[in-house]
Amino acid sequence: TFDRTPLIAGNWKMNMDHVQGITLLQKLAWTLEDAKHDFTRVEVAVFPPFTDLRGVQTLVAGDDLPVVYGGQDLSPHDSGAYTGDISGQFLAKLGCKYVLVGHSERRTIHGETDELLRTKVEAAYRHSLVPVLCVGEGLEVRTAGRHVEHTLEQLRADLESLPAGQVADLVVAYEPVWAIGTGEVAGPEDAQEMCAAIRAELATLYDAGTAASVRLLYGGSVKAANAASILAGRDVDGLLVGGASLDPAEFASIVRFEH
């Protein structure tokens, strides 16, 4: 049994054009419908590229799909001279519920700092989007045994100045960088250790009630074969899935981890 509704989220990254994205989502929805998946028991979210969002919105609304979706990033600004950027205002208007903030690929490839990510978290809340804040250590930090300290530092820096009331519906994804797209998955006890540490830190920063309501996901080479064991951790409330979310049958099996 879960203390919080589990969230299984698929990050499509820069894959699936707007035609492929629709086909993927349709297949996923059919598979879950056939299996009579109870979406109130396990929430399902997808994070398509920006250019797919309008199509996803049309399909979800038209077919009344119980799947929710979000953007993979957002600008800290609401509008203006920011060529190439997408604001939280636009995402909200397209029916997004969530937005990824601080995915490790944004931190490394685009040099996004905690100072910037803090303003992105604020921008998400300004437009009633729920941030899925990604944190996690690289291999060197893990090898040095500083992974918990490092991840909590990121958490504190990214949430600075946010009031408890706002943080209550937050989602935090623990994604050890060495496990993303590498086929190397953290052990269930590693995922649980970090999620427990994050929850304890939230209790210190805010209060026990807030900490108990925040959902904590694990991400990094999740597949149908390892989903259930990772989700057995009592502080692990869901999964952020990259590669395996591009295969509708595999992703549906992850969603149906209890079966």
Tell me: does residue 11 bind ligand PEP (CB under 6 A): yes
Our answer to whether residue 18 is catalytic in this structure is no
Which member of 105, 112, 122, 175 is catalytic? 175
Tell me: does residue 91 bind ligand PEP (CB under 6 A): no
Distances (CA, A) of 201 to 34, 43, 62, 149: 41, 25, 42, 11
Q: Which amino acid belongs to residue 66?
A: P
Distances (CA, A) of 121 to 39, 81, 86, 93, 132: 27, 20, 14, 18, 9
**173 beta partners:** 134, 217
Tell me: does residue 224 bind ligand PEP (CB under 6 A): no
Residues 175-204 that bind ligand PEP (CB under 6 A): 175, 180-181
Our answer to whether residue 175 is catalytic in this structure is yes
Tell me: does residue 132 bind ligand PEP (CB under 6 A): no
Residues 156-175 that bind ligand PEP (CB under 6 A): 175
- Find out whether 181 is annotated in a ligand binding site: yes
Shortest reach from residue 111's CB to ligand PEP, in Å: 18
CA geometry: angle 48, 251, 106, nearest 5 deg = 40
**11 beta partners:** 47
Neighbouring C-alpha atoms within 13 Å toward the C-beta of 255: 27
Tell me: does residue 222 bind ligand PEP (CB under 6 A): yes
Q: In the complex with ligand PEP, which residue's Cβ is closer, 137 or 210?
A: 137
**What letter does residue 50 receive in the DSSP assignment?**
G
- Find out whether 221 is annotated in a ligand binding site: yes
Question: Which residues of this protein are in contact with ligand PEP, per CB under 6 A?
Answer: 11, 13, 175, 180-181, 219-222, 240-244
State the catalytic residues. Answer: 103, 175
